[in-house]
Amino acid sequence: MIKPGPGVSGLKEGDRVSGGALGFDGRANVPATQLHVINDLPQPDELCILEPIACAVTGLDHCLLRPGDRVTLIGCGFMGAMILQGLLRSFAERVMVIEKDPVRLKLAQRLGAKDVWNPSHVNWPERLQELQALGVDTVVDCTGVQAGLDLATQICRCGGRINLFGWNKGSRTVDASHWHMQGLTVVNSSPSAASRDPFPVAIRMLRAGIIDLEPLVTHVVPLEEYPACSRKL
């Protein structure tokens, strides 16, 4: 809930708002221009975590999908699951998910994914060849690790797009010759790459049910219990 300072217009005390990366503080001093009123959203506060949804909006924007595209999502954690929900409601002809965690694979299926691939299975080399033969137009890597980057490079079709949504921290090794010869477009869809203010879009997607956080929020605790809860998780 908000308590506007002197001279602030368009906001009133008690408004339910979201905006920016507010973190886990009980209070925050935020510029009014960064806040968006969400009084009309029916979801409880724990299902209105809009900053991650805004990040997912930027990730989806940078996919530049066309009708009938085939897309592969690598990694279906909290952020990947939001990207998946957006992809499943796009005009992509086929959306595939690669994830080795069986719990996350089940989550992907619960969210509506029909094609799920587990790279830890013994028949993975055959599955990989099948995936390569499909002609994947866009690969969204949500892992941020070397293995995810390598896999994205392997499965993206000639002239396709690799969308680096996961945060690759530190140094990475890439096969630059493969990227060149395949004519790959590689984009970094971090929040700094936003082509528009993603928060209003995130609010609309949440209101319309395009993004649903209910399957992703596993624990709700008071702020003072957060440190202990995070250690247990």
Quick one: pLDDT at residue 1? 58
Quick one: pLDDT at residue 23? 66
Quick one: pLDDT at residue 135? 96
User: Which residues sit opposite 31 in a β-bridge?
Assistant: none
Q: Provide φ and ψ at 185, rounded to 5°.
A: -100, 125
Quick one: pLDDT at residue 227? 83
Written as one string, the DSSP assignment of 121-160 is STTHHHHHHHHHHH-EEEEEE-S-SHHHHHHHHHHEEEEE
Give me the numbers of helices (H) and strands (E) for the chain, helices first please. Answer: 8, 8
- pLDDT per residue, tens digit, the chain (233 aa), is 566 666 677 788 888 888 766 666 667 777 888 888 899 999 998 899 999 999 999 999 999 999 999 999 999 999 999 999 999 999 999 999 999 999 999 999 999 999 999 999 878 999 999 999 999 999 999 999 999 999 999 999 999 999 999 999 999 999 999 999 999 999 999 999 999 999 999 999 999 999 999 999 988 888 888 888 877 66
Cα 146 to Cα 132: distance, rounded to the nearest angstrom: 19
Residue pair 41/206 in contact (Cβ under 8 Å)? The answer is yes
**CA nearest to 131, candidates 83, 164, 179, 97:** 97
Quick one: pLDDT at residue 8? 76
Quick one: pLDDT at residue 26? 67
User: What topology does CATH give the domain 64-188?
Assistant: Rossmann fold (3.40.50)
**CA nearest to 119, candidates 98, 135, 102, 143:** 98
**Per-domain boundaries in the chain:** 1-62+195-221, 64-188
Cα 207 to Cα 223: distance, rounded to the nearest angstrom: 25
